[in-house]
Structure formats: C-alpha cells, structure tokens
Amino acid sequence: MENSEDLLAHAGIEEDYEGTYTGKKIFPAPSDTPVKTLYDSYKDGSLILQPEFQRYYVWDIKKATQLIESALLDIPIPTIYTSEDASGNEIVIDGQQRLSSFFSFIDGRFADGRIFKLTGLNALTQLEGKSYGELETFNQKKIQKHPMRKIMFKKESDPGLKYEIFRRLNSGAVQLNHQELRNCVFRGRYNDLLKELAKNKDYLKLLGRDKPHSRMIDVELILRFAAFYHSTYMNYDPPMKIFLDKDMDTFKDITNDRAKDLENDFKKAVSIAMSMFGENAFKRFTAGNENERNGEWGKTFNASLFDIVMFAFSKNEKNTLMRNLDRIKESLLFLMTEDQEFISAIEISTSSKKAVKTRFEKFRKEIDDIIGRDSAQPRLFTKEVKEALYRQDKTCKLCGNEIASIDDAHVDHIEPYWKGGQTIPENARLLHRYCNVSRPRNDS
C-alpha cells in the first residue's frame, strides 16, 4: 500500500492565510481558579481536558514534577485557556499538559497507569520519591489551593474570531492544523458527523489508509465536500479556510434529514469514485512528452480533483453515472491531459475563485454532455472498444511506439467526430495521449 501519510501530506488542503474578522467580538472571562476546583470540574465532566483535537499527554515525569514543585514554591503557572460550549462545559484549548500533570499527581498515576511520584526535584529535594498521598497535609492543600490563571472564551464569542485566537495560542512544537482547531470551536452534531464519515471503509480505501488520519486531514476533505455540497461552487468565495469555517458554523446543529442526505450522497460519490478509478482516484494523470511518450499516474492526492469528482457524483443519479462510467473516466483523463485551463485550475492558485469555477464547470459540462447523450450518438468510445484495440495492437498509430498502459491510450476517430465520423470500432485508432495532444489539428 502506498504511504498514505505522504499521499495526504501534499493534498493541498492545509493553506495558511489570515481571515478578516472586522466588527466581530470575543468575550473572555478571566479568573484565578484553584487547582482543586479545576480538578473537581474535570471529574464531574464540566471541564473537558482531552477532546479529540488535543495531542495526547507528552510530558515526561521530570517535567511534570517541575510543575508540581513550582506550585509548592508559589511560582505562578502560565495561563490556561478554555472555550465554553453550548452546554456550558469548558473545553481546554491551551494548558492540557499542565492540567493533566496536576490531575495525574492528585490521582496518584498517569492516564497510562504509571505511578506518579515526584522525580528530579531541584529545590524541594526532601520530597523526592513521594506521591501526592504521601505528602504532608499542608503540602496537599498548597497544591489544591494553588491559583491557576484561566481565561474562558464565552459561548457568545464569534466562532471565527475564537478560532483565530486559538490558532495563535497554539505555539507548541507540533501546531494544531485548521481542522483540529475547528474540531474544538465548532463542536456539535455536524462535527461528529464529519468524523464518523471519515471512518467509511470505502473512503479509507480510496485514501490508501487503514484508519482515520491522526491529524484529521481526511475529515477536512469531507468538510470540503460538504461545503461545496451545501453552497455549490457558484457561491464559493476565497479564502478556502473561511469558506469551510462558515459551513461548519452554519450546520453545527445539522438536522437529522440534512445529515442523512449528506451521508447518503457522500457514500454514493465515494462508491462511484471507487468503481471509476480505484486506487488512482483523486490523483492526476499526466500525459507523456517528446522524450517519454508514455504518461503516468501521479503519486499524490489532489484535493481539487476530489472536490469536483465528489460534487458531480453526489449531484447526479447513480445508475446514469454507472452506465456512463467509462466515458466519464475518459472525459476526466482528457481534461487532465489536454485542457490547459483545467490543468492550471487543479495545479495553480487552486483556491482562487477563478480556478474553482473553471474546474467545476468544465467537469460539469463534460458530465452533462455525456448524460445528455445517454441514448444518442456518443463522442467517446466505450471501454470495450478501447480494450479490444489495446489487446489487438498496443502500437500508437502516430508515433509507432508501444503504449505502456491502457489509461495512457486514447481512442481517436479516424474520420473526425466533428466531421460526422461515427463512434464505432471501424472508425477507431489507438494513440498515446501525448501524441493525440501534440498532433497537428488537421491530421485525420
């Protein structure tokens, strides 16, 4: 199986740009909260320490010990930040490692079961090797009463602005990406639905994965699908990040009916994409060149192709698409190898309004033409004709060299289609895609 981390690493979905939040407001609620109060809130579920977006506990026991020692020495601890959700619970945004250390020490063990005894003390060496339960009562109370500066962003705060603040707060060694932050800011039924869809087996297979991505890149792809599904490309305005943020905010409390429609159409589109391209779904096919006439499939995932294929397949009737699947595949291969406007729209400034509109409309037109000719004289030869020609003779009828793969083979009309040439085996010849693109247009 292809390295799926590399496959998604260059998917083009993690774009770094600032949003504009003029006139919107944030409502912070600062407080100095004792460790014991935070611990009790954690235990009763009103302080959510580790939602899915947070990194797992990464501090070692010495670093955790230093934090406990700082509290015992009355040294201020850096501010923690939380976000209030619709139910009034608080989600920890920044400070998870510090709070985990305090709570684990009070519990006597880390979440993974390791015993927590103070290790590597610098000042209070007399406490070396002691657990919380072994400390004198006055030291236990000192930890319990230690004030933690906490800033909670109230639920009335603008989600987009809150998102931007969280992004800036997140300055650790491995920064949270856009979707990990959305997973915090836009918690709710819609967020849960997107994460559940990312577990779909066919979808995982298309991405070359055995399980969902640890950094939620696959969830952001589904959000892209959903945002275009809801708004269509005609209502897209850049930047992409804000477009996706708005969709999550609009549908955070999605109704059952809309959720079911989205789920069904997502699964339909995935199923058709699997039938059409298999492991090459959402990758770019590149034609050959003068030196190497054989073309090839790319190795990396192309989010722009994902957008248009999933959108088109979700919006059309499955039986009609499946009946014309071979022609649709040939049509997309044509766009990827011969249409320079389309090629630019999936490779250069892909989130610009022009690029988005260009690639969606070109692929939509191809599908509309194919479906419109469902019972009329088709422009593209069938898969069976192509396979028969390829089995009979793999030689390109223009350059005389062998065509290495059937996907790189283009079935051309001997008598041009535009001159009335019929789409029948007797009027078909096999060419390299490169040779078809580069041949003089008056060549018949």
Q: What is the pLDDT of residues 216-227, one digit of tens each?
A: 999 999 999 999
Taking CB atoms within 8 Å and a gap of at least 24, the contacts of 36-42 are: 36/144, 36/145, 38/99, 38/102, 38/148, 38/150, 39/102, 39/103, 39/106, 39/144, 41/90, 42/99, 42/103
pLDDT, tens only, 360-413: 999 999 999 888 765 556 778 888 999 999 999 999 999 999 999 999 999 999
Residues contacting residue 281 through CB under 8 Å, at least 6 positions apart: 206, 273, 274, 309
% of the chain surpassing 70 pLDDT:
89
Which among 313, 345, 370 is the end of a domain? 370
Phi and psi torsions of 147, nearest 5°: -80, 130
Whether residues 219 and 355 fall in one domain: yes
Does 419 score more than 70 pLDDT?
Answer: no
424 DSSP assignment = S
**257 neighbors 369 (Cβ within 8 angstroms):** no
On whether residue 246 sits in a domain, the answer given is yes
The helix/strand/coil state of 380 is coil
Whether residues 389 and 360 fall in one domain: no
Residue numbers of the domain that contains 244: 189-370
* pLDDT in the model for residue 190: 97
* pLDDT in the model for residue 9: 55
Exposure of 156 by Cβ count < 10 A (0-12 exposed, 13-18 middle, 19+ buried)?
exposed
Phi and psi torsions of 5, nearest 5°: -65, -45
The helix/strand/coil state of 87 is coil
Number of domains the chain contains:
3
Give helix then strand counts, H and E, for the chain: 19, 9
Does 171 score more than 70 pLDDT?
Answer: no
DSSP-assigned letters across all residues of 133-164: GGS-HHHHHHHHH-EEEEEEE-TTS-HHHHHH
% of the chain surpassing 90 pLDDT:
68
The helix/strand/coil state of 366 is helix
Rounded to whole angstroms, the Cα distance separating 179 from 14 reads 9
Whether residues 216 and 319 fall in one domain: yes
Per the rule left: phi > 0, alpha: psi between -120 and 50, beta: everything else, 308 is alpha
Does 13 score more than 60 pLDDT?
Answer: no
* pLDDT in the model for residue 49: 85
Task: Name beta bridge partners: 151.
Answer: 30, 81
pLDDT, tens only, 298-336: 999 999 999 999 999 999 999 999 999 998 999 999 999
Does 414 score more than 60 pLDDT?
Answer: yes
Band (pLDDT 50/70/90 cuts) for residue 437 is: confident
Number of residues that this document lists for the chain: 444
* pLDDT in the model for residue 51: 56
Q: What is the mean pLDDT of the chain?
A: 88
Whether residues 284 and 363 fall in one domain: yes
On whether residue 204 sits in a domain, the answer given is yes
Whether residues 135 and 274 fall in one domain: no
Does 236 score more than 70 pLDDT?
Answer: yes
Rounded to whole angstroms, the Cα distance separating 332 from 329 reads 5
Whether residues 80 and 143 fall in one domain: yes
Distances (CA, A) of 170 to 53, 165, 308: 12, 9, 33
Question: Mean pLDDT over residues 130-138, rounded?
Answer: 96
On whether residue 430 sits in a domain, the answer given is yes
**319 neighbors 269 (Cβ within 8 angstroms):** no
Whether residues 123 and 197 fall in one domain: no
Task: Name beta bridge partners: 255.
Answer: none
Taking CB atoms within 8 Å and a gap of at least 24, the contacts of 135-140 are: 139/72
Does 233 score more than 70 pLDDT?
Answer: yes
* pLDDT in the model for residue 19: 43
Q: Which two tokens stand for residue 383?
A: 């898969």
* pLDDT in the model for residue 167: 72
Rounded to whole angstroms, the Cα distance separating 243 from 178 reads 12
* pLDDT in the model for residue 162: 77
Which among 140, 156, 172 is the end of a domain? 156
- Whether residue 239 is preceded by a cis peptide bond, meaning omega within 30 degrees of 0, is yes
Residue 13, Cβ neighbours under 10 Å: how many?
A: 25
* pLDDT in the model for residue 382: 86
* Angle, vertex CA 290, rays to CA 289 and CA 291, nearest 5: 90
In 3D space, the residue among 189, 176, 184 whose CA is nearest the CA of residue 159 turns out to be 184
* pLDDT in the model for residue 44: 96
Rounded to whole angstroms, the Cα distance separating 71 from 438 reads 73
On whether residue 147 sits in a domain, the answer given is yes
- What does the longest C-alpha to C-alpha distance in the chain come to? 96
On whether residue 173 sits in a domain, the answer given is no
Among 16-25, 67-76, 276-285, 408-417, the minimum mean pLDDT is found in: 16-25
Whether residues 279 and 400 fall in one domain: no
* pLDDT in the model for residue 380: 81
Whether residues 94 and 239 fall in one domain: no
In 3D space, the residue among 211, 205, 210, 247 whose CA is nearest the CA of residue 226 turns out to be 247
Does 258 score more than 90 pLDDT?
Answer: yes
Whether residues 273 and 400 fall in one domain: no
In 3D space, the residue among 299, 427, 268, 282 whose CA is nearest the CA of residue 346 turns out to be 282
Which among 325, 342, 370 is the end of a domain? 370
On whether residue 230 sits in a domain, the answer given is yes
On whether residue 23 sits in a domain, the answer given is no
Whether residues 241 and 326 fall in one domain: yes
Q: State the residue for tokens 């139910």.
A: 87
Whether residues 49 and 80 fall in one domain: yes
On whether residue 425 sits in a domain, the answer given is yes
Exposure of 187 by Cβ count < 10 A (0-12 exposed, 13-18 middle, 19+ buried)?
buried
Does 98 score more than 90 pLDDT?
Answer: yes
